[in-house]
Amino acid sequence: MRMTQVVSAVVGSIVVYVVVAACGSDGAGGGGGDGGTGLVDSLVDSLANPVGDAKAEPNGSGSRLKAKYLSGGDGSKQFLFEFHDTERNEDCSFKLASDMKTRCLPDGRKAELYADAACTQPVIAEKPACTYVVEELQPLPPNGCTMVLPKPRFRILTKSTTPVPGSTIIYVNNGTCQSLTVASNYEGTLFTSAEVAPTSFVEATAAVEP
């Protein structure tokens, strides 16, 4: 039996019940009115819209992270999948951090240059100026019982006060670390980097709506 037939049958039964109840109440001299009709309308509305008007806000702001959204002229909002960290005064989005915790991390320039031959110490260029360098770390293998693909981890680095010595830096070419001579007319300074402690970024955990 199709759902529409089921609903019709249930509503029909409700209507019969209400009519009989209304007739019985007339004999008792009760205060008439359309109480029966109101009951039917209410029950039919509950059947047609069992969930009701949900007001869930899965993209809501917290005490520190404030949701960013597009604001329409008619009052509409569209979440931008990004937050503003009011404590650090910067925008961020949730990614897997270097400590294997999901955290709201800022964007930055991709790590491409290194100060050491093993490509483990990213370099931050003074020009163009960027607040952070973001290094994508190798993802860890999946946990035995899960089919979820491993996620990349991200390390957030900021400029140290130590300039890179000499005029040679290292870059990655097809997975191999190779040396590169800095152009003599480069006007900026290259600095070594220091990791920003992952714990300084807001941590998130997966949750299910009650």
Q: Is residue 93 part of a domain?
A: no
Q: Is residue 100 part of a domain?
A: no
Domain count, the chain: 2
Please give the model's pTM, rounded to 2 decimal places: 0.64
Q: Is residue 206 part of a domain?
A: no
CA-based nearest residue to 201, from 132, 83, 61, 103: 103
pLDDT tens, position by position, 9-34 = 444 444 444 444 444 444 444 444 55
Domain containing 40 equals: 3-27+35-48
Q: For the chain, list residues with pLDDT below 70.
A: 1-58, 127-129, 138-150, 187
As beta bridge partners, residue 83 has 67, 92
**Greatest pairwise CA separation for the chain in angstroms:** 105
Q: Is residue 207 part of a domain?
A: no
CA-based nearest residue to 84, from 106, 108, 66, 102: 66
pLDDT of residue 65: 96
pLDDT tens, position by position, 125-151 = 776 667 888 888 866 666 666 556 667
